[in-house]
Amino acid sequence: MSHSINEYLVDLTPKRNELLSKMEEYAQENHVPIMDLIGIEAFLQILRLHQPSSILELGSAIGYSALRMSYTFPNAKIVTLERNEERIKAALGFIKEAGKEEAITLLEGDALELASEASKYGPFDAIFIDAAKGQYVKFFELYEPLLSPEGIIISDNVLYKEEVIMPEEMIPNRRRRALVRKIKHFNSWLMQHEGYDSVILPIGDGMAISKRKKNM
């Protein structure tokens, strides 16, 4: 998407409430990655079509997307996972300020180790994968058993700053190149998954939407 089109769409996006605007400023000032406006509006619209009553999010950060989901689906139960202590503290503060302590449950720890704990709150109508990008295959395998029969899994950042289409020598450093290889592997693995129909949309930083095949 061109920069001009992105700016045009941002200008058309409805204004957020005071708390969400404060969170957006906090994220920018503290270099915390949250979904961009176009990406999260598309994400929420996809969820509106699905109307989930229970949502699992891997990667809370400061709780921005969890709160956006809770405002959109006030009756939904949201469980969100985060391991970074500073971000957990910020997220809990924002969730409390929003008065959403009953709607949003934050589980603290590494998502690779929390599947058993998260299962106590399942099954989930939607699972949102937005944690460590290099672990997406493991996350998908760990958490897809918690998906309700008609549920969907949304994986964010699967085009990763468009670096998935760059020649490797153009990617800045070895660590970043390794990460991009893992994301590309996930994308190929996901699109060939025998149990799920998936599509990758060039929205935001790339969004994959997966739904269990009917005969599975």
Render pLDDT for 54-93 as a digit per residue (tens, 0 to 9). Answer: 999 999 999 999 999 999 999 999 999 999 999 999 999 9
Q: Which of 147, 95, 96 is nearest to 121 (CA)?
A: 147
184's CB contacts (< 8 A; 6+ apart) are 164
**Model pLDDT, residue 11:** 87
- Range 131-170 burial, b when 16+ CB lie within 10 A, else e: bbbbbbeebbebbbebbbeebbbbbbbbbbeebbeeeeee
Lookup result for tokens 């400023």: 25
Instruction: Say which range, 127-136, 169-178, 183-192, has the weakest mean pLDDT.
Output: 169-178
Label each residue of 11-61 as H, E or C: HHCCCCCHHHHHHHHHHHHCCCCCCCHHHHHHHHHHHHHHCCCEEEEECCC
Q: How far is CA 155 from CA 9, 159, 183, 188, in A?
A: 22, 10, 11, 13
Instruction: Say which range, 6-15, 20-29, 80-89, 149-158, has the weakest mean pLDDT.
Output: 6-15
pLDDT tens-place string over residues 147-171: 999 999 999 999 998 888 888 888 8
Number of H helices, E strands in the chain: 8, 7
- Encoding tokens for residue 185? 């592997």
What average pLDDT does the segment 113-140 reach? 96
60 and 81 Cβ atoms separated by less than 8 Å: yes
Any idea where the domains of the chain sit in the sequence?
3-212
Q: What 3-state DSSP class applies to 204?
A: coil
CATH superfamily, domain at 3-212: Vaccinia Virus protein VP39 (3.40.50.150)
Rounded to 5°, angle at Cα 139 from 135 and 142: 140
Backbone angles phi, psi at 80, to 5 degrees: -130, 145
- Range 61-83 burial, b when 16+ CB lie within 10 A, else e: bbbbbbbbbbbebeebbbbbbbb
